[in-house]
Structure 1
Amino acid sequence: MSQVGRPKGKFTQHRRLDHLRELMLRHPKGITLYEMAEALGVTVRTMRRYMKEIEREFDLEGAPTRGGGPMLWRIRSSELPRKVELRRTQAYAFLAARRLFEPMAGSSLYDEINMATEKLLALSRRPGRGPNAGRADARLEERFLYLPFAPKNYSERTEELDDLFQAVADLRPLWVKYRSSGKTKEERITIHPYAMVLHRDSIYCVGYHVQRGEIRTFVLDRMRDSEVSVTEHFELPPGFNIDEYFQGELGVFKSDVEHRVVVDFDAPAAEYVKMRRVHQSQKLQPLPGGGVRLTMIVGNLLPVTSWVLEWGGRARVVEPPELVQAVERELTEALAKYRSN
């Protein structure tokens, strides 16, 4: 006899709810409460609680069985997902970004994305039609793709990743142990997560820090022992715009203080600078000798320091003075390490 209750291993309530959705979608004619409980390995009492969660998402209906047997529960036909028609070119466009999600492998979120990816792969590999149709074995999905910048491994953060996504999607409070930058100790905090952002292949959360009473940016890498509220919800602030917290290539940061940044690039670097939009406020001005001056207004200078250092001797900070000092300090410390050898 199978044991009911909380299954062993990393099988959270979020994953069980995902399993329940799939189970009900696979049984459009209905399934009993007892069959669902058996499939998920939980008690009937727990199953009733999960049904209430599913009713937040779908309109359920009960159908009596013959002979007075248990009620069959199903998703109302009008609520069942509709098919989405895609052409092969459209499928290739989505497939090109599939590696962006590979660091999430092991999470329920990745499993859902991977299921969609497999369906898109099947569509893209079908033989084409007409005189201009592509070959079925051309494997374009392997030759038209996005390569991650420096992908992280979130295999040890799958629970936190699933909880974060659920909290963002359902507007639910999230409790986590979090270690802030520069600190060695964790603290138990409550977050109202407004948005989940993938930037340079790292996962960030922009949300309201309840204890501190302010909107902050959190890094998934520093989250641990997360838990999503099953009874509470929060309201998304009117006018919330994630772009206000996004500094283009310079990361997900926001500051009440604005800095005017001016950086000069030499001629060899100018071509690459002109090809990229680092920040939405950037302006370019030609310099004698073929160089270019970049001017932009940013909030947090920390990511700007790292960005300037990536250019090595091709870039020189003109202003602000604190950015000049920060770059000089980093270069001096780096040079000292080489001279010490």
Structure 2
Amino acid sequence: MPRNAEVIRQWTILREIERARAAGVTIDGLAGLCGVTTRTIRRDLQALEEAGFPLFDDKSLDDGRTRWSINGQAFKGLAAGLTLSELSALYFSRTLLASLTGTPFKDEVESAFVKLSAALTPHMRQFLDQLPRAIATKPDPARRLPGDDARRQRAIARTLEATLHQRQATLVYHSKSSDRTKTYHVHPYRLAYAQGGLYLLAYVPEYGEVRTFAIERVEDLSLLEEHFTPIEELPDEAFPDSLGVHSGPTSRVDIAFRPEAADYVRGRAWHQSQQLEERGDGGLTLTLDVCLDRALTSWILSFGPGARVIAPDSLVREVASQIEEACAAYRAGGPGRA
């Protein structure tokens, strides 16, 4: 039997015992839940006890059957006292938090898990260390950040201070689109982590709007004595109107998907505005209200011939132009040419 199956089963047993609380769970009940023999359940319970989990059996109920329970507040050293499920879920989430690699919060996350691990016995740690084998994640590509890391960390620290205390700031920023460095007077509203990068959303009085600045292109940020009152309330979600990291006006977008791509599209929540219309040939039409940005165009192109933009016309032309340009590049390259 794969080791992963054993770990998942034992995790299921722990959760079921904890869920039952004082009522406890019988070995027969656990065997039925997990689809294994009572002998296997007894071995699992013994393994969990040897790992240090505070399980105990009790026959005090009227029917005389042995029921298994757990001391749910057994993890001392944690101020609030976490339940088994809370502790294990948090420990398990290390896999999901891998996306924070490359951000200024990576060291803090690792430090927190070191402290969390200290609350466990060695055998408990050994058991919980196996949980991430049951699920794996592939984080978004992290930004490669050349240059002075210490300077960048100072800029991030100042940005956090500016957002928390609503301090106006002077921002020196290198724009990728124009390849120029410019100084802005900004009201820093929020830091947002998305798609492997950290971004500052700041109101720019010069333009009368909130703009997005990539942190890796911030060359300097100086705090001013003046404070600001936010003029615009930002939504809780970062970049809610984009499939990427863009803010701006939205447009109604209609995309037709062929049957071979339709199953993949209908099986996912791409955006809170999405509407699906099924077609008789097995395909579908997806409608979104989103920004017309690079992220949207790239997403559509990723489906190749499986997707065709219906509206708006400007997006139809943009996607068609990129496809034609790519085809021309392939034709010009010829076989075996770079």
TM-score > 0.5 by shorter chain: yes
Give, in whole Å, the separation in 2 of the partners of 1:324 and 1:335. Answer: 17
- Does residue 1:139 correspond to 2:99, yes or no? no
Question: Which of 156, 166, 169 is the equivalent residue of 1:171?
Answer: 166
Quote the offset at 1:167 in angstroms: 2.4
Kept after mapping to 1: 8 A contact 2:186/2:202: yes
Number of aligned residue pairs: 249
Report the Cα distance in structure 2 between the residues aligned to 1:192 and 1:174, rounded to whole angstroms. Answer: 6
Q: Deviations over 1:21-51 (max 9, x none)?
A: xxxxxxxxxxxxxxxxxxxxxxxxxxxxxxx
Q: Of 146, 150, 154, which aligns to 2:141? A: 150
| 1:19 alignment partner in structure 2 | none
Q: Given the alignment, which residue of 261, 264, 268 partners 1:269?
A: 261
| Aligned twin of 2:175 | 180
Instruction: Give the partner amino acid of 1:159.
Output: R
Other-structure match for 1:295? 287
Q: 1:137/1:110 Cα in 2 relative to 1: closer, same or farther (>3 Å)?
A: closer
- Residues 91, 223 of structure 1: alpha-carbon distance in 2 compared, 3 angstrom cutoff: same
Q: Give, as a single letter, the amino acid of the residue that structure 2 aligns with 1:266.
A: R
> Match for residue 91 of structure 2?
92
Deviations 1:104-139 (A, max 9, x none): 2xx4x44333321322344467545xxxxx963643
Structure 1 residues 227, 114: closer, same or farther in 2, change over 3 A?
A: farther
* C-alpha contact 1:260 1:295 (8 A) present in aligned 2: yes
Q: What's the counterpart of residue 246 of structure 1?
A: 240
Single out whichever of 180-189 and 153-162 deviates more from structure 2. 153-162
> Take 2:81 and 2:169, find their aligned partners in 1: how far apart are those partners?
36
1:145 deviates by: 4.9
Distance 2:185 2:231 in 1: 17
Q: What is the aligned partner in structure 1 of residue 311 from structure 2?
A: 319
Q: What SS class does the counterpart of residue 278 from structure 1 fall into?
A: coil
| Structure 1: gaps of 5 or more residues | 1-81, 129-133
* Structure 2: unaligned runs, 5 residues or longer: 1-77, 334-338
**TM-score, normalising length from structure 2?**
0.65
1:310 partnered with 2:309: no
> Taking structure 1 as reference, are residues 273 and 138 closer, same or farther at Cα in structure 2, changes over 3 Å only?
same
Q: For the aligned residues, what is the CA RMSD?
A: 2.7
Distance 1:330 1:214 in 2: 30
Find the counterpart in structure 2 of residue 333 from structure 1: 325
| Per-residue deviation, 1:186 | 0.7
Give SS of 1:338's match. helix
Find the counterpart in structure 1 of residue 248 from structure 2: 255
Matched with 1:211 is 206
Q: 1:301–1:323: 8 Å Cα contact kept in structure 2?
A: no
Distance 1:200 1:251 in 2: 7
CA deviations on 1:52-110 (whole Å, 9 max, x unpaired) are xxxxxxxxxxxxxxxxxxxxxxxxxxxxxx93433322322542332121112xx4x44
